[in-house]
Amino acid sequence: MNTYKEALKIDAIGAIFSALGSLLILKFMNASMEVPEGWLIFTVFYALGILIFDVVSIKKLGNALRHCLMITVALNIIFVLLAINVLVSNWLTLNSLGVFYLILEIVIVAVLSVWQLTVVINEQMKVIEK
């Protein structure tokens, strides 16, 4: 059960950082500081989707947890690629603070993804040992 709680904690933290990071990216993408509705909707559904996968994984067996975390890792990879794309395409127009926050967001989400993968691998190793 501790693995489930750890996975939920990891993904909840990841969802919060991803949502905040998405909003930061949007802020620096649009010079008028208006957040496009489509991106805001994406951010909300991204965070909610991760949490829904986590709730489902708690109700299921270890195998469901593994699939849940793999989906979350895939979503985080997509998010990191999006952030890198925004960073590269808007490098000259971003101020130094914006660049710092964007790089920090990319690093945080990447570290969370690696952490999630280690949980998945540890869970799989327990299944193999049994």
Q: Over the stretch 91-106, which tens digit does the pLDDT of each residue have?
A: 666 666 666 766 777 7
Amino acid, res. 112: L
**Distance between CA atoms of 6 and 96, rounded to whole angstroms?**
35
Q: Over the stretch 21-72, which tens digit does the pLDDT of each residue have?
A: 666 666 666 555 555 555 556 666 666 666 666 666 555 545 656 666 666 6
Q: Domain residues of the chain, as ranges?
A: 2-129
Task: For residue 2, give the 3-state DSSP assignment.
Answer: helix
Q: What average pLDDT does the segment 9-13 reach?
A: 68
Q: Give, to the nearest 10 degrees, the angle between helix 37-59 and helix 62-89.
A: 160
Whether residue 10 has pLDDT greater than 70: no
Q: E-assigned strands of 1-130?
A: none
**Distance between CA atoms of 72 and 15, rounded to whole angstroms?**
9
